[in-house]
A = this chain, B = another copy of it.
Amino acid sequence: MTDLYPFSTTIKVRFNETDAQGHVNFAQYLNYFDVGLIEYLRSVGFSYQRMLDENMDMLYVDSHASYKAPAHFDDILRIHCRTGKIGNSSVRFDFQIFNETKDRLTANGEITVMIADRKTFQKKHVPDHFRQALEEEIK
């Protein structure tokens, strides 16, 4: 059994997130990861609004998803997130989606973001206090 990351947030699958195969569309999982990321960052003190207020934005440079088992309409999904790796100007976040309704892992994956200036979208260093907040969390 995979160890699940401590942080998680929960969503319920909406009908428009399914497709004609009868389950959740594969692209939708990246949106779920993103919901998890936003709540995870809020939990370490960085709401997206605070990031913007501090002239920090995130540009998504890489995403990966591995689909383990289908999820269906009305399923309860728990999106787990942790910090995977902190670089000079990028951070990789790791995700697991656990299907509570079906009691199984439904997907996992990663998103790598580049920290950027809010207005110019130019790359910038991961600010120290943001790095510390993330490092604190993964200790």
Contacts and interface: CB of A to CB of B under 8 A. Distances in A.
Contact of A48 (B22, B26, B73, B121): B73
Contacts of A72: 20
Contact of A15 (B25, B73, B74): B25
By size class, the interface of chain A is 35 or more
Most buried by B among A22, A25, A49, A64: A25
Interface stretch (A30-38, A81-89, A128-136): A30-38
B67 A48 contact: no
Indicate how many identical chains form the complex: 4
A77 B54 CA distance: 26
A28 interface: yes
11 contacts: A14-B34, A14-B38, A16-B19, A27-B30, A27-B63, A38-B74, A59-B70, A60-B67, A62-B64, A63-B64, A70-B121
Nearest 10 A/B pairs, CB to CB: A27-B30, A18-B20, A26-B60, A64-B64, A16-B31, A16-B25, A20-B22, A27-B31, A63-B65, A18-B19
